C-alpha cells in the first residue's frame, strides 16, 4: 500500500479532454484527496509576483480589461511558440509542484484520506511519474476528446497544437499500471475506477 506504508499516490495520465478530472472525481467519492494542478496554476496566476513576471515576459496583451491575466490570451501566446511555453512553465511549474508537495504532506497526516490522486496534465512531462505509486491512463477516442475540448472552448487545431507540446499518448500508455476506458457510459467508468482502487488498496 504505497511506499513505506504511506498513503498510495495515484497519478492520472491521458490526453486533453480524455476525462482525467472525471476519473479523479470518482476517486474522491472513494475517500481520496485530489491535487488539481490546473486549479493550483489558475490560483497562482492571481498572485501579484507571478502576474508581474508573466507581464514582463509576454506584455500587457495577456491582461483583460480589469488587469487580470486572461488565460485564453496567455494560451494563445505560448502555444504558438515552444520557447515562450518553456518560459511560462519555468515560472509556473516549480510553484505548482511546491504547492502539490505541501498538499501531499497535509493529506498524509489526515487519517480519513485513503489515497492521494494527482490530476496533473503534465505529470509525465515534469517527471512526476516517479512520485507516484500507481499510474492510471484514461483512454478515450480522439473524436470524443475533440468534442470535449470543444466544450472547453478550444478547437481541433488548438487541441493538436497543445498535444504537440506533450509526451505522446503511446508513451503515456506504456507508463501506466492500469487503463480506464472512457469511451462508453459513465457507469462503466465508475466500475473501472472502483475496481482499480480496490486492487491498489488491498494488493498494493
Which domain, by its residues, includes 195? Answer: 3-203
CATH number where 193 lies = 3.40.50.300
* Runs of H (alpha helix) within 45-155: 48-58, 71-78, 82-108, 142-151
User: Hey, what's the torsion of the CAs at 199, 190, 105, 108, to 10 degrees?
Assistant: -50
Q: What are 88-142's pLDDT values in tens digits? A: 999 999 999 999 999 999 999 999 999 999 999 889 888 899 999 999 999 999 8
The number of folded domains in the chain is 1
pLDDT band at residue 2 using 50, 70 and 90 as cut-offs:
very low
Q: What is the pLDDT of residue 199?
A: 94
pLDDT band for position 68 (cuts 50, 70, 90)? very high
Cell numbers that stand for 144 in this block: 470524443
Amino acid at each position: 500500500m504505497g511506499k513505506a506504508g504511506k498513503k498510495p499516490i495515484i497519478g492520472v495520465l491521458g490526453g486533453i479532454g480524455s476525462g482525467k478530472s472525471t476519473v479523479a472525481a470518482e476517486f474522491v467519492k472513494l475517500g481520496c484527496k485530489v491535487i488539481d494542478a490546473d486549479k493550483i496554476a489558475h490560483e497562482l496566476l492571481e498572485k501579484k509576483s507571478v502576474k508581474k513576471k508573466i507581464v514582463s515576459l509576454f506584455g500587457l496583451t495577456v491582461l483583460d480589461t480589469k488587469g487580470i491575466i486572461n488565460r485564453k490570451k496567455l494560451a494563445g501566446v505560448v502555444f504558438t511558440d515552444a520557447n515562450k511555453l518553456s518560459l511560462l512553465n519555468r515560472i509556473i511549474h516549480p510553484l505548482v509542484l511546491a504547492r502539490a508537495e505541501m498538499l501531499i504532506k497535509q493529506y498524509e497526516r489526515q487519517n480519513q484520506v485513503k489515497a492521494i490522486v494527482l490530476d496533473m496534465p503534465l505529470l509525465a512531462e515534469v517527471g512526476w511519474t516517479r512520485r507516484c505509486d500507481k499510474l492510471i491512463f484514461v483512454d478515450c477516442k480522439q473524436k470524443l476528446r475533440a468534442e470535449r475540448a470543444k466544450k472547453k472552448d478550444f478547437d481541433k487545431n488548438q487541441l493538436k497544437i497543445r498535444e504537440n507540446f506533450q509526451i505522446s499518448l503511446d508513451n503515456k500508455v506504456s507508463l501506466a499500471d492500469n487503463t480506464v476506458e472512457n469511451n462508453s457510459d459513465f457507469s462503466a467508468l465508475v466500475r473501472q475506477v472502483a475496481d482499480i482502487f480496490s486492487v491498489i488498496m488491498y494488493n498494493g
